[in-house]
Structure formats: C-alpha cells, structure tokens
Structure 1
C-alpha cells in the first residue's frame, strides 16, 4: 500500500511520523497546498512516463 500525505506548514503530528515506514520530501521549503499538488502531480507523471518508457525526457 502506498499513501501520499501533504502536511501543513509545520509538518505532521508526531504520530504520523511514528507510523511511517518511509518518508520523502519535495523540498525543505514550505509551499502552498496548490503548489504542492502541481509539483507532486508533475513529478508523479514524470516518474510514470519514465518507468513505462514513454517519451517524456528530451522529446
């Protein structure tokens, strides 16, 4: 199971960190929720096209 969470400007409650087995971060900077959705969606799309050998890079 894979779950993506977007935290608030101060991160997550300690309970969230305790339950997580892996964590990634888009940046050390704080973004608006609208910007996070945009950046995350683009990165997810980019990763999926690379995995499926679709022409995203240098196309």
Structure 2
C-alpha cells in the first residue's frame, strides 16, 4: 500500500473508532478506542512511507 492509501485508511478507522466510542455498549466503546488507535498508527505509517518513499 502506498502513502496516500495508508493515510486514508487511517483517517477512516479513526473516524469510525470515534463514532463507536459514543455507544451505550461498553464493549463497542472499547472496540472504538482500539480502532481509533489503529487508525492513528496507519496514518503514522503513511507519513513514514512518504518520507522514505513507497519502497518499504
């Protein structure tokens, strides 16, 4: 996956995770928190690929 793809996927996961955190179900809230963190990680991965090139 390229830099842009990782950043977009990260943004989507972060947004879905934030939405899930507003649930009344504690399990869904926990899942949303984890998904938001995953999204932030994907964004960082995309930034690193951008700095190093898509060769990694």
TM-score (norm 2): 0.40
Larger radius of gyration: 1
Of the two structures, which has the highest relative contact order with CA contacts closer than 8 Å and spacing of 6 or more?
A: 2
